[in-house]
């Protein structure tokens, strides 16, 4: 039986498929009822983030006659009685979309409302911050074009007064007097009140000739009559106001005041159509698209060609696409909304409800990338579309979405489509599409990347109830499916067919000691970790089998984590570990071979610099193996180091490999050095704190004799020191080259937000002087050239003498990690000195303003590093910064120059923060 290695409980249960999502910064979001719960898989029982879904007032889209309420198209709306909105769909954006370079979270509710939230990195709270209301923008656009209908003549406008003495037969928007007193009047734009009705409800006044199809918010002011005030836009875009009475509870009637309704009188079909346009069901972020500035100029309101599309599917069968640009620059201080948000197009994708959307990126290395879009509907149809990056950036015609149909899959049985999972496989050179259905079956379609043609690989009756989750893993070699029948299955893709395989039951480390009852009734989503070594799924408890006094109140659902690193892959049968496996109880030799292969494959995929560096599951697996089988961890790391740094596939001893790896750093890519530093700190030297490691690397404050007994420990410490020195040399060399370029071209002295600028030149010179015996000869030559350029450039501050931020005392340069000011003598004759942190990039003394923090090496950063540093395939002093090249083209990235992970603002321990490692 498969056992979880950790779990976390939820106070509310999910209600819809695909209710869990894993972000690129290692956060998990769960659509749990009326909440979105955000947790950290590193600390599942630790601090959490929260999004509370607010109640929203329906949009005023028109007035229908009373006799039309019984028509078939309005019955689902009139009978709807949702007590409160629930979360229907969630989706994470890629890294770089939030103001702090993190991820944005889009949320769709059962009311059809779509909003975008950012992490509260500078707000010091658990509730995430709303930055965009997509539905408001969609309503404003649709109302400006009269919902794509012909203009309603003035004679069709209902001008008859609504009687104030009438009663309401169970009005969905009626509220108690206490609730009315908590309301406030909103007179600005579209109303957004904390009210009871959902967007699928309409008000029926008993004695009125017309019915307001879009009830307006109710308010009450002390000492005044209770009215309903509506502020909306007419079909021509002009504001109109409607005031109608609301019936108070307890039989109290409002005073009789003549009212006039200026909303258009529309038919039942028109109302149903408008309501369907505004009723969103599902959403999904596209991959991040970055176009070359030489190919396509950036829009005027944004200096960046980096953007993402948010696709929102509705009941009308249409999908609206919202182009959201990445911020021009990243900050942990300023709170800013996304730089540009535009409606780029509305696509009539299906003739029925859009139930699922999936994106995939093609040609990420090209200057004009392509994206694939798969959409599914309740009528059983699936369509695959393609879009080109340049057209998506320039698109401005809303009625002409720049997507082209590649393939249409029609289900002759009209079984609703519940899930889609689209993935381009690099190793297989194919495009994989899994289609989950409401019947419990799913299909797999395989497409050719070059011809972009799809064929059905097979159909599989995997489950008895609706498929609620599909996820590809290991570059398309495995598919995981889950269903409302509470079963989770694993499938292996061999050729063009799937074969069910068991989920590995053995896993490293100890089992979870959480006392969660095993009384689950359904599984409503699963997701694979960024490194493909673990899977997380959300399951709902059977509350009838829980203790109603203690368990049922707080345990509605749970997120479970399972290891899949031992999943069987197509490995040669004669592959073996090469040593005795008796020291690994509970594991067979094949399972250890699979773990070894999967860990190395996961590490190899991160050698691509554009992939976000989130290696939590790799580090967690290695640490778990280290506790019970340290020799196995040594074997895995030796093999990875030999393949990545030495290009060897032969077995060698750890000591021999480390000595040769240390000599090959100049030929290694920056991303490889980042991976080596993370593994060295978090796995090999995990017993030491980050400050202890940093001090030992500088030979400051740590007794070297304590490490003399462990030669391998010393070798890793020397390896880490050489790797970080190599990265620092690259950063210093790039800064010197940029400074030399600025000296030759004085017109480029001004820096623009979001672009890198060389700082700390004087401190870098002093660092070279302190490490003269370790620095390369080429860097020494560049440092000598910089001294001759100082007199010709006054644009960059070159003061070598720094001052303390607290006492203004001089601060000498003794270490690139920290500084100690000389102090000022007090009245008692004592000198008060301050220990100051230095910026990991510029080596300057950090200011007292909020700083960026690396969660791995615990270094502080005030100035961000250039993006080119993280893209370097090897060490070279030719950084291609000629005087003719513009320095402003080099972007700055909030990444640690030594670990390569995303930098963050320091958060208190009681608040949620992402931990990539």
pLDDT per residue over 35-61, tens digit each? 999 999 999 999 999 999 988 888 999
Window from 256-260, 300-304, 547-551 with minimum mean pLDDT: 256-260
* Res. 155 pLDDT band, cuts 50 70 90: very low
pLDDT greater at residue 302 or residue 267: 267
Could you tell me the sign of the dihedral formed by the alpha carbons of 391, 393, 397, 402, in that order? positive
Report the Cα–Cα distance between both ends of the chain, in Å, rounded.
29
Report how far residue 108's alpha carbon sits from residue 569's, in angstroms, rounded to the nearest whole number: 37
Residue 616: predicted pLDDT: 94
Helix (H) or strand (E) holding 861: strand 860-861
Residue 127: predicted pLDDT: 94
Nearest to 480 by CA among 467, 494, 495, 470: 470
* Res. 903 pLDDT band, cuts 50 70 90: very high
pLDDT greater at residue 315 or residue 513: 315
Query: pLDDT, tens digit, for every residue of 804-857?
Result: 888 888 888 888 888 888 887 776 666 788 888 999 999 999 998 899 999 999
Q: Mean pLDDT over residues 437-451, rounded?
A: 89
Q: Is 735 helix (H, G, I), strand (E, B) or coil?
A: helix
Taking each helix axis as running N to C, give the angle between helix 711-744 and helix 670-679, from 0 to 180 degrees, rounded to the nearest 10: 140
Residue 745: predicted pLDDT: 65
pLDDT greater at residue 180 or residue 744: 744
Could you tell me the sign of the dihedral formed by the alpha carbons of 424, 426, 430, 434, in that order? negative
Report how far residue 895's alpha carbon sits from residue 901's, in angstroms, rounded to the nearest whole number: 5
DSSP per-residue codes, 465-522: S-EEEEEEETTTTEEEEEETTS-EEEEEEETTEEEEEPPP---SSPPP-------EEE
Residue 338: predicted pLDDT: 58
Residue 201: predicted pLDDT: 36
444 pLDDT above the threshold of 60 = yes
Which stretches of 351-427 are assigned E, i.e. beta strand? 354-362, 370-377, 382-388, 404-409, 417-425
Report how far residue 654's alpha carbon sits from residue 772's, in angstroms, rounded to the nearest whole number: 30
887 pLDDT above the threshold of 60 = no
Nearest to 56 by CA among 233, 183, 197, 209: 197
Report how far residue 215's alpha carbon sits from residue 78's, in angstroms, rounded to the nearest whole number: 12
Report how far residue 328's alpha carbon sits from residue 312's, in angstroms, rounded to the nearest whole number: 25
Window from 151-165, 305-319, 358-372, 381-395 with minimum mean pLDDT: 151-165
Could you tell me the sign of the dihedral formed by the alpha carbons of 176, 178, 181, 186, in that order? negative
Residue 172: predicted pLDDT: 34
pLDDT greater at residue 145 or residue 426: 145
Which stretches of 532-684 are assigned E, i.e. beta strand? 534-541, 557-563
- Please enumerate in sequence order all residues whose Cβ is within 8 A of that of 312, keeping only pairs 6 or more positions apart, or say none: 108, 114, 134, 138, 280, 282, 283, 319, 320, 321, 322
Residue 169: predicted pLDDT: 36
758 pLDDT above the threshold of 50 = yes
94 pLDDT above the threshold of 50 = yes
Residue 197: predicted pLDDT: 34
Could you tell me the sign of the dihedral formed by the alpha carbons of 462, 468, 474, 477, in that order? positive
Tell me, rounded to whole angstroms, the distance of Cα 884 from its chain centroid.
38
Report how far residue 253's alpha carbon sits from residue 193's, in angstroms, rounded to the nearest whole number: 23
400-409, 467-476, 494-503 — which one is most confidently predicted on average? 467-476
Residue 871: predicted pLDDT: 86
CA angle 651, 581, 595 (to 5 degrees): 70
Q: Mean pLDDT over residues 775-802, rounded?
A: 71
The percentage of the chain sitting over the pLDDT mark of 90, rounded to a whole number, equals: 38
Query: pLDDT, tens digit, for every residue of 804-813?
Result: 888 888 888 8
CA distances from 501 to 440, 443, 532, 646, 842 (A): 18, 17, 16, 35, 52
pLDDT greater at residue 241 or residue 316: 316
Which stretches of 53-206 are assigned E, i.e. beta strand? 63-65, 87-92, 105-109, 114-118, 129-133
173 pLDDT above the threshold of 80 = no
911 pLDDT above the threshold of 80 = yes
Q: Mean pLDDT over residues 657-681, rounded?
A: 89
556 pLDDT above the threshold of 80 = yes
Residue 693: predicted pLDDT: 86
The percentage of the chain sitting over the pLDDT mark of 70, rounded to a whole number, equals: 76
Window from 304-313, 573-582, 587-596, 901-910 with minimum mean pLDDT: 573-582
Residue 786: predicted pLDDT: 78
* Res. 748 pLDDT band, cuts 50 70 90: low
Window from 285-299, 864-878, 888-902 with minimum mean pLDDT: 285-299
Q: Mean pLDDT over residues 737-755, rounded?
A: 68
Q: Mean pLDDT over residues 753-768, rounded?
A: 84
Tell me, rounded to whole angstroms, the distance of Cα 592 from its chain centroid.
32
Report how far residue 250's alpha carbon sits from residue 227's, in angstroms, rounded to the nearest whole number: 17
Residue 26: predicted pLDDT: 95
Residue 241: predicted pLDDT: 32
743 pLDDT above the threshold of 50 = yes
pLDDT greater at residue 890 or residue 366: 890
Q: Mean pLDDT over residues 356-382, rounded?
A: 87
Whether the Cβ atoms of residue 818 and residue 803 lie closer than 8 Å to each other: no
229 pLDDT above the threshold of 50 = no
Window from 53-67, 270-284, 497-511 with minimum mean pLDDT: 497-511
CA distances from 884 to 296, 745, 866 (A): 21, 8, 19
Residue 695: predicted pLDDT: 82
What phi, psi does 655 have (nearest 5°)? Answer: -65, -40
442 pLDDT above the threshold of 90 = yes
Report how far residue 744's alpha carbon sits from residue 787's, in angstroms, rounded to the nearest whole number: 14
Report how far residue 219's alpha carbon sits from residue 473's, in angstroms, rounded to the nearest whole number: 52
Nearest to 520 by CA among 546, 489, 553, 481: 546
- Please enumerate in sequence order all residues whose Cβ is within 8 A of that of 781, keeping only pairs 6 or more positions apart, or say none: none
Mean model confidence pLDDT for the chain: 79
Residue 657: predicted pLDDT: 85
221 pLDDT above the threshold of 60 = no
Residue boundaries of the structural domains of the chain: 1-17+412-567, 84-151+272-410, 153-265, 724-905
151-155, 190-194, 491-495, 572-576 — which one is most confidently predicted on average? 491-495
Residue 485: predicted pLDDT: 93
Residue 232: predicted pLDDT: 33
CA distances from 362 to 306, 365, 371, 593, 869 (A): 16, 9, 6, 32, 25
Which residues on neighbouring strands pair with residue 63, listed in sequence order?
A: 212, 265
Residue 795: predicted pLDDT: 54
Could you tell me the sign of the dihedral formed by the alpha carbons of 804, 864, 29, 611, in that order? negative
């Amino acid at each position: 039986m498969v056992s979880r290695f950790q779990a976390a409980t939820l106070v509310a249960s999910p209600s819809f498929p695909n209710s869990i999502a894993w972000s690129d910064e290692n956060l998990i979001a769960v659509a749990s009822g009326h909440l979105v719960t955000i947790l950290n898989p590193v600390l599942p029982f630790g601090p959490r983030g929260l999004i509370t879904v607010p109640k929203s007032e329906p949009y005023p889209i028109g007035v229908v006659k009373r006799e039309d309420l019984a028509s078939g198209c309005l019955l689902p709306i009139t009978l709807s009685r949702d007590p409160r909105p629930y979360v229907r769909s969630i989706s994470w954006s890629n890294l770089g979309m939030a103001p702090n370079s993190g991820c944005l979270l889009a949320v769709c509710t059962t009311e059809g409302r779509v909003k975008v939230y950012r992490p509260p990195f500078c707000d010091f709270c658990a509730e995430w911050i709303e930055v965009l209301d997509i539905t408001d923008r969609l309503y404003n656009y649709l109302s400006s074009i009269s919902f794509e209908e012909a203009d309603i003549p003035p004679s069709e406008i209902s001008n008859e007064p609504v009687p104030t003495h009438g009663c309401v037969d169970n009005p969905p928007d009626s509220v108690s007097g206490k609730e009315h007193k908590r309301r406030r009047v909103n007179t600005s734009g579209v109303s957004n009140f904390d009210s009871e009705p959902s967007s699928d409800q309409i008000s029926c006044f008993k004695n009125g000739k017309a019915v307001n199809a879009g009830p307006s918010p109710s308010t009450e002011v002390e000492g005044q009559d209770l009215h309903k005030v509506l502020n909306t836009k007419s079909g021509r875009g002009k504001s109109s106001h409607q005031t109608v009475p609301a019936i108070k509870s307890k039989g109290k009637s409002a005073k009789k005041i003549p009212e006039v309704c200026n909303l258009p009188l529309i038919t039942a079909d028109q109302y149903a159509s408008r309501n369907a346009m505004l009723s969103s069901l599902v959403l999904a972020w596209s991959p991040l698209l970055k176009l070359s500035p030489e190919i396509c100029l950036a829009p005027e309101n944004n200096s960046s060609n980096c953007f993402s599309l948010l696709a929102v599917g509705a009941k009308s069968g249409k999908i609206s696409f919202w182009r959201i640009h990445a911020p021009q620059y990243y900050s942990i201080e300023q709170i800013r909304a996304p730089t540009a948000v535009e409606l780029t197009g509305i696509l009539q994708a299906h003739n029925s409800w859009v139930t699922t959307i999936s994106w995939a990126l093609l040609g990420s290395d090209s200057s004009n990338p392509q994206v694939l879009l798969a959409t599914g509907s309740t009528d059983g149809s699936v369509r695959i579309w393609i879009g080109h990056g340049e057209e998506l950036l320039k698109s401005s015609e809303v009625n002409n979405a720049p997507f082209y149909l590649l393939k249409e899959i029609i289900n002759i049985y009209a079984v609703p489509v519940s899930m889609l999972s689209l993935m381009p496989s690099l190793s297989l050179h194919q495009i994989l599409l899994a289609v989950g259905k409401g019947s419990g079956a799913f299909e797999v379609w395989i497409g050719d990347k070059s011809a972009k043609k799809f064929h059905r690989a097979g159909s599989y009756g995997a489950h008895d109830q609706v498929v609620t989750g599909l996820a590809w893993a290991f570059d398309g070699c495995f598919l995981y499916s889950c269903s409302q029948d509470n079963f989770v299955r694993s499938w292996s893709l061999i050729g063009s067919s799937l074969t069910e395989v068991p989920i590995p039951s053995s896993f490293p480390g100890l089992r979870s000691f959480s006392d969660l009852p095993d009384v689950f009734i359904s599984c409503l989503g699963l997701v694979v970790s960024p490194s493909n070594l673990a899977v997380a799924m959300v399951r709902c408890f059977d509350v009838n089998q829980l203790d109603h006094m203690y368990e049922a109140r707080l345990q509605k659902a749970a997120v479970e984590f399972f290891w899949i690193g031992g999943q069987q892959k197509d490995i040669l049968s004669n592959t073996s570990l090469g040593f005795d496996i008796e020291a690994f109880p509970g594991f067979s030799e094949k399972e250890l071979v699979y773990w070894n292969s999967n860990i190395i494959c996961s590490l190899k995929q991160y050698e691509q610099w554009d992939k976000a560096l989130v290696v939590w599951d790799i580090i967690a697996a290695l640490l778990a193996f280290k506790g019970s089988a340290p020799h196995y961890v040594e074997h895995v790391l030796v093999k990875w180091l030999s393949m990545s740094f030495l290009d060897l596939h032969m077995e060698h001893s750890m000591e021999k490999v480390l000595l040769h790896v240390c000599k090959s750093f100049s030929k290694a890519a920056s991303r490889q050095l980042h991976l080596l530093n993370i593994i060295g700190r978090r796995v090999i030297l995990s017993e030491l704190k980050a400050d202890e490691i940093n001090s030992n690397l500088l030979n400051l404050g740590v007794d070297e004799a304590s490490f003399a007994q462990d030669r391998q420990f010393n070798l890793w410490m020397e390896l880490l020191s050489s790797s970080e020195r190599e990265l620092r040399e690259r950063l210093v060399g790039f800064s010197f080259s940029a400074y030399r370029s600025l000296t030759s071209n004085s017109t480029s002295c001004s820096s623009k937000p979001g672009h890198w600028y060389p700082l700390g030149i004087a401190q870098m010179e002093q660092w070279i002087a302190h490490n003269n015996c370790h620095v390369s000869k080429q860097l020494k030559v560049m440092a000598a050239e910089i001294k001759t350029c100082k007199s010709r450039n006054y644009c960059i501050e070159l003061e070598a003498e720094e001052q303390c931020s607290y006492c203004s005392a001089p601060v000498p340069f003794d270490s690139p990690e920290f500084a100690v000011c000389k102090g000022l003598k007090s009245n008692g004759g004592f000198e008060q000195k301050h220990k100051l942190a230095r910026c990991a990039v510029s080596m300057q003394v950090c200011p007292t303003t909020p700083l960026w923090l690396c969660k791995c090496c615990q270094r502080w950063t005030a100035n961000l590093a250039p993006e080119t540093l993280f893209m370097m395939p090897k060490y070279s002093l030719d950084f291609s910064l000629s005087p003719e090249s513009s320095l402003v083209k080099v972007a700055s990235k909030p990444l640690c120059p030594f670990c390569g992970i995303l930098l963050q603002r320091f958060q208190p321990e009681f608040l949620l923060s992402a931990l990539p490692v």
